[in-house]
Amino acid sequence: MSTALVRAIGALAVAALGVPTCLAAQPRLTAPGAPATLTPAQQQARAIYKELVEINTADSVGSVTRAAEAMAARFRAAGFPADDIHVLGPSDAPDKHNLVVRYRGRTRGKPVLLLAHLDVVQALRADWPQDPFELREENGWFLGRGVADDKSMAAMLTANLLRYKAEGWVPERDLILALTADEEGGGHNGVSWLLANHRDLIDAEYAINEGGGGTLQGDDPLFHTIQAAEKVYTDFRLTVRNTGGHSSVPRKDNAIYSLAAALQRIQAHTFPVELNDVTRPFFEQTAKVEMPSLAAAMRALVADPADTTAARLVSMDPRYAAMLRTTCVATMLSGGHAPNALPQTATANVNCRIVPTSKTSDVQAALERVVSDSSVVITTSSRDRTDGAPGPIHPAVLAATVQLTNRMFNGVPVIPTMSTGATDGYRLRNAGIPTYGVSGIFSATGETNAHGRDEKLRVKSFYDGLAFLYELVRLVAGPNPPGPVS
């Protein structure tokens, strides 16, 4: 295919999907509900948030260590013992060090780990209307790199831990705060490093992390999610080689045509529905807020995953389709070496998001079956990873989230979800530490523009998340953790 054709197809796809080409060009409306005056706890959280946003922690130019040290200084000043505060990381990456703080509980019950990442995606001053590394508050929004992903949660967890200590509240079991490096990439992932080198410091019964939160419709809560599983990111490379020759004498065998046919077969293929202990309740709960016909299809699919009529209806929304099954899509293409030569090589990248119950090698075998052309060689550099079947959400976490959602967010449904993207949660889950993305931070779909220009978060959502996490941790870490909900 010519590059012009590829470009035309790309433009069509953007138009068909209605993908906004410039989010920042949309008018920024005032977000209601920001508190007129701040409590001392809110003031402290805001100061921590500002300090974190204003330390550049982007890969290569920033320093996560500086942010970790700044938070460590706050814990030292608050009287946490020096032995319970660690700033540590790989010796060959002095800017990629993590903070681990332990707040000791009454008993030796297994701790609860509170996780947030300190690193952010790069933001260039020239791309932003203002300095991205300055926390701004305008019209009910916080603006700046990391205000949503993930310095909001890092600030909330830090502020709350300091507050527990100041208030003299002691949990039943230890609380561990880990603020880590390189979640966004960069090669020195803090969670992996801590698991490999200091597992004892972060070992926990389960962890609270990013990845969950609430969805707003307009300004009102619609539902509240707990992320409890993730799909597995895997790239496959399709390669076709050919002896080539003069283009004035074409032959039937042609690397570009073979590859194009293989990609069309992959496009036409739909992987089977595979539900698990997270996605099954996801569809049960989502049915409560969806239109009646779609809700009925979701319930039918939970009852019988082989119901193809129901699967087709639910799959009409690409977000739900991606929750039902493994997906694979062509994302890059190249081929040929001269306009007047038969192509000797054609390659494509096919990006798969694999359900956690399937293996990489099973998906590779499925792609080979679908393509059914031995001239198309399919390879991957991903190791064979399966995250196993996700378990149900810990009853204490679910009960506390439901209780607080009833009190704070109009009792909207609490919905377990499987992320189609990735967080650090899978690293902990693979190491046997169940991890729940839950935050009490609400936003309308896409409005935070995380990783993009003008990243923002509602001021109200920041203080609501702060209050939610303050209560959530108190409820799950005791005294008196809540019982399971029926």
Interaction site with Zn ion (CB under 5 A): 149-150, 210
How buried is 3 (Cβ within 10 angstroms: 0-12 exposed, 13-18 middle, 19+ buried)?
Answer: exposed
CB of 211 to Zn ion, least distance (A): 8
CB of 5 to Zn ion, least distance (A): 36
CB of 142 to Zn ion, least distance (A): 16
Task: Please name which of 228, 240, 161 lies closest in space to residue 474, comparing C-alpha atoms.
Answer: 161
318 Cβ neighbours under 8 A, 6+ residues apart: none
CB of 117 to Zn ion, least distance (A): 6
CB of 437 to Zn ion, least distance (A): 10
CA distances from 261 to 147, 240, 335, 348, 362 (A): 44, 11, 14, 12, 22
CA distances from 466 to 154, 183, 385, 412 (A): 10, 22, 35, 19
How buried is 175 (Cβ within 10 angstroms: 0-12 exposed, 13-18 middle, 19+ buried)?
Answer: buried
- Nearer to Zn ion by Cβ, of 360 and 423: the residue is 423
Q: How many CA atoms lie within 13 A of 151 on its CB side?
A: 35
- Nearer to Zn ion by Cβ, of 153 and 350: the residue is 153
Decide: helix, strand or coil at residue 305.
coil
How far apart CA 437 and CA 427 sit, in angstroms, is 13
How far apart CA 204 and CA 434 sit, in angstroms, is 9
Tokens representing 451 are 């990783």
- The one-letter code for the residue type at 314 is V
CB of 435 to Zn ion, least distance (A): 13
Measured over the CA atoms of residue 271, residue 276, residue 278 and residue 284, the dihedral's sign is positive
- Nearer to Zn ion by Cβ, of 149 and 174: the residue is 149
- Nearer to Zn ion by Cβ, of 187 and 479: the residue is 187
How far apart CA 123 and CA 133 sit, in angstroms, is 8
Q: Which helix (H) or strand (E) holds 301?
A: helix 292-303
Contact 482, 397 (CB under 8 A): no
- Nearer to Zn ion by Cβ, of 174 and 447: the residue is 447
- Nearer to Zn ion by Cβ, of 189 and 276: the residue is 189
Decide: helix, strand or coil at residue 417.
strand
What is the CB neighbour count within 10 angstroms for residue 371? 23
Q: Which residues pair with 332 in a beta bridge?
A: 349
CB of 210 to Zn ion, least distance (A): 5
Output b/e per residue, 9-44; b: 16+ Cβ within 10 A: eeeeeeeeeeeeeeeeeeeeeebeebeeeeeebbeb
- Nearer to Zn ion by Cβ, of 74 and 151: the residue is 151
- Nearer to Zn ion by Cβ, of 328 and 418: the residue is 418
- Nearer to Zn ion by Cβ, of 51 and 149: the residue is 149
CB of 328 to Zn ion, least distance (A): 24
CB of 148 to Zn ion, least distance (A): 8
CB of 424 to Zn ion, least distance (A): 8
- Nearer to Zn ion by Cβ, of 210 and 387: the residue is 210
